[in-house]
Structure 1
């Protein structure tokens, strides 16, 4: 599925004048223009019943009667409001992903997404997730690039018991999926980082308290992604709304406001509105931005229903004007010149001193994949060094905070014994992968095991390679693993091998990156014409390109910069 750039694109031949009149009358399905009639099946489902209401049916009906009793609109729609997606039935190859009907792809098990706003966990919470994983999810657990933890093989009969365990320690799955405000990204080192402009924790807590589970925003055109950080470590450029820590020359520390970012098949970096927001106003401003999306967002076509399309059509100036005049009823304070990413890694892996003299220790699960028993062991290790704070990151990594200096090396050794590297290779540190065909109904190829095996191969073949190069592996075009902003982004698709057989493979994106300084606003990179690699060829391809980079780069040149001037032969 591709996203059309214009609402009236590609009208079928023979379209009548009456059809055009109806199209103009219906517009884009924007509520603020009086267009409340559902224009597609998804909008009809939400109008029929709010997704939040399905919890009662799960607890009182489906958990007792089983999978076959679940209403189809609940199964493939409203249950997402409580973090539940049906997972892919085993044995269905990628060539059938876009061919089969939804019920043919459904397994009778669910993926359950545990919402972890800001990536903040304590020991009791991590132990609870471990318990759920081991008891109800066959030991599965994936740390996502939205700071959540996903579990698989969940039976509908077990969901109420799972909720009881999670909610007993303050966790929830509310609006972890669906057309809702999804889990909100926050700095994994909020409150402890030496260089943060402002601790955004109170703002995140307010947003969660006021708006998660509120029917005020439980029917949005599509998902709505938020990031709030006193640093620049939450990929703010790809979120629907972001509050980024900045020092105002007159008003002090606060947040720079960005809107309209998103990737998938029509990527767009967020636009800076030029407004400065004090921490006590973040909640109201967030509600204003989300309200604009709810009221003016495009609901006619699902592939144009993200905020980025409205922002692209309106522009930053009009968006700010509507926010101020219709939603806040006051002017925002103009912000300083935009902040830019400091020349440091965003992933927080390694040992770092906190502002209180203790340390946080960041480590790498393999492309986010971990198991329930290991989560429990991480909780035990945190407690053993006197810490009650564990964080997940937007790069599928984890941290233990508040580690005394004399306990750091022992902790590193204990983590290494669990295959959790604190001092990893470049490849372990900078490779991400989405869920892939193993569980995802949208995927075309396998990702997690392939990415892990590729890490092993590159560590053997290029043991001394030390330049940070991100490798992001995605099972379909939707870019859950942010392929357009990776040095080497791999978009899963079926390709032909040397013998003409259709096999799993990837289209290659090269040189994608976020902005790094005043002269670099970031880029979605480039694609070499016709360049595709099979899954089997992937380690050979990456090794070849990285060796070309090593041979041809200039002093201090990044991989992304090199790809701009490299020849197609050097990139192939």
Structure 2
């Protein structure tokens, strides 16, 4: 993974010292809160419902074991012994004090980490495929480009005060595991007929109050032209994006207002100013960065057949081990190796995406012993060990079991994406975590979950959609109704190559109704599905009316509202 050079380290160290001075001045009331707010947000520090929250960047999701141990130390010393991994491949600490925040940033800097641009109206942490560099369906390893764009966008003076936050996702594989269509800019890397790396550029995606999928505005852009083309894109946004209404300030609103064709035309006009300039990447830049993403020292071994892998476990444990192999283990580019997802979705014991300091240290040990000391954070709030020998899978399974990290539910109903919601976030309309826990308790039978197959269920506590409810097969949105917490349900969302926005099925439900509602939805699927048909395919085929008829049994739904109001 990428290692800081002297310039990187100096920049981060100086930023820490700058923020330390700003915090001290705030404590002495030499800076008013209104003036201090943008300064702390630029360093990832939010004021939440109960305390400050610090959001730490994990660029394109990659972590070393040393860095994860440092995060564990920070959670013990400055928080409450845990951290929360997010859909943006970051980690959040929810109980931070203002006085200690500079010390945390200094600790992060000691292991080449920071919180720069994890908030504010800037280019945020760039996200990517958690299986980058190892996925069998990969065309281009996106990590060097992720790193180059991270360096390009960090503290970029022209894009420090955009109309609104700006998120970039990059994918280099056949299957989109970065949800590029749901981002302000989504980049699909591929190779042309000459074997050169080119990029398809999608702009104007986003969830939140107005969910919109990105539009393709540029095909086959040479990868080296990304800085100039993205500068042109951001310049059009910076010039014409709305600043008078926070709810209409994202680039998706501008693209929708102008139309994708007109927006693309304006970007092309701006881009002419940068043609053949030093703004673009040079081949030496690729060489400088790509060496940090070279293949590890793999053993030259053959793939093991599934029967041999299963036989690594004693007969009494083969059923549970086999389930884990089916759901949590993914094929690898290198013969004899696989990637393993450690589930951070234990039923009923912790919030989705949370890891205790003990678990962080255990995961770091697992990474050292089984995966060359590296791991990745996923969009779905889990952790990936990317390079595991097949012959050591049962040994890993046993070790991970001790940390409660082997729930075989990856891609199943209880592998939920869940935001912190009203328990922590001051923006939330409703709690997310109790709803997730109640649904997990209702669907605690692994045999049943395996029979249901892949179903994504995403929960957000407010319209900002941090839980990405719009693109869940089943989405749950917390809403405020006359001062009470209610929950709106959407069906038909999806991510990946068939990314789509779910449809609201009708009026919202009380918290105590949600387990029953989800059960009703699942029962309709079980009754209506055809052989080998997924939940998403069934919803696409039969529509949402059968589900509405089941969840609103005593009502005439024909004239029901489709919002919570």
Shorter-chain-normalised TM-score: which range? 0.7 to 0.9
In structure 1, the partner of 2:232 is 288
How far apart, CA to CA, are the structure 2 residues paired with 1:175 and 1:209?
A: 12
Q: Report the 3-state secondary structure (helix = DSSP H, G, I; strand = E; otherwise coil) of the residue aligned with 1:273.
A: strand
Match of 1:243 among 164, 187, 197: 187
In structure 2, the partner of 1:216 is 158
Q: Report the 3-state secondary structure (helix = DSSP H, G, I; strand = E; otherwise coil) of the residue aligned with 1:465.
A: helix
How far apart, CA to CA, are the structure 2 residues paired with 1:205 and 1:129?
A: 21
Match of 2:488 among 492, 507, 512: 507
Q: Report the 3-state secondary structure (helix = DSSP H, G, I; strand = E; otherwise coil) of the residue aligned with 1:317.
A: helix
Cα 1:69–1:468 shift into 2, 3 Å: farther
Q: Report the 3-state secondary structure (helix = DSSP H, G, I; strand = E; otherwise coil) of the residue aligned with 1:244.
A: strand
| TM superposition score normalised by structure 1 | 0.78
Q: 1:83-112 deviations in whole A, cap 9, x for unaligned?
A: 0001103xxxxxxxxxxxxxxxxxxx3100
**Cα deviation, residue 493, structure 1:** 2.0
Cα 1:275–1:376 shift into 2, 3 Å: same
How far apart, CA to CA, are the structure 2 residues paired with 1:390 and 1:425?
A: 17
**Cα deviation, residue 399, structure 1:** 0.4
Q: 1:37-68 deviations in whole A, cap 9, x for unaligned?
A: xxxxxxxxxxxxxxx99966641252487497
Match of 1:117 among 42, 45, 59: 59
How far apart, CA to CA, are the structure 1 residues paired with 2:30 and 2:420?
A: 27
Match of 1:375 among 334, 349, 360: 360
Q: Report the 3-state secondary structure (helix = DSSP H, G, I; strand = E; otherwise coil) of the residue aligned with 1:254.
A: strand
Match of 1:392 among 377, 389, 392: 377
Q: 1:101-135 deviations in whole A, cap 9, x for unaligned?
A: xxxxxxxx310001112101111111111111111
Structure 1 contact 433–474 (Cα < 8 Å) conserved: yes
Q: Report the 3-state secondary structure (helix = DSSP H, G, I; strand = E; otherwise coil) of the residue aligned with 1:150.
A: strand
How far apart, CA to CA, are the structure 1 residues paired with 2:380 and 2:160?
A: 27
Cα 1:353–1:65 shift into 2, 3 Å: same
In structure 1, the partner of 2:73 is 131
Find out whether 1:300 has 2:244 as its counterpart: yes
Cα 1:53–1:403 shift into 2, 3 Å: closer
Structure 1 contact 203–282 (Cα < 8 Å) conserved: no
How far apart, CA to CA, are the structure 2 residues paired with 1:158 and 1:349?
A: 41
Cα 1:370–1:380 shift into 2, 3 Å: same
How far apart, CA to CA, are the structure 2 residues paired with 1:328 and 1:401?
A: 41
Structure 1 contact 350–363 (Cα < 8 Å) conserved: yes
**Cα deviation, residue 178, structure 1:** 0.6
Q: Report the 3-state secondary structure (helix = DSSP H, G, I; strand = E; otherwise coil) of the residue aligned with 1:174.
A: coil
How far apart, CA to CA, are the structure 2 residues paired with 1:69 and 1:155?
A: 18
How far apart, CA to CA, are the structure 2 residues paired with 1:141 and 1:64?
A: 28
Cα 1:372–1:449 shift into 2, 3 Å: farther
In structure 1, the partner of 2:549 is 569
Cα 1:114–1:140 shift into 2, 3 Å: same
How far apart, CA to CA, are the structure 2 residues paired with 1:412 and 1:466?
A: 24
Cα 1:404–1:68 shift into 2, 3 Å: farther
Structure 2 contact 68–361 (Cα < 8 Å) conserved: yes
How far apart, CA to CA, are the structure 2 residues paired with 1:522 and 1:390?
A: 26
In structure 1, the partner of 2:527 is 551
Match of 1:84 among 45, 61, 70: 45
Cα 1:463–1:523 shift into 2, 3 Å: closer
| TM superposition score normalised by structure 2 | 0.79
How many matched pairs?
Answer: 477
**Cα deviation, residue 512, structure 1:** 1.4
Gaps (5+ residues) in structure 1?
A: 1-51, 90-108, 333-347, 497-501
**Cα deviation, residue 289, structure 1:** 1.9
How far apart, CA to CA, are the structure 1 residues paired with 2:437 and 2:122?
A: 32
| Range with greater deviation from structure 2 (301-310 or 384-393) | 384-393
Cα 1:77–1:359 shift into 2, 3 Å: same
Which one has the bigger helix percentage?
2
Match of 1:359 among 322, 338, 363: 338
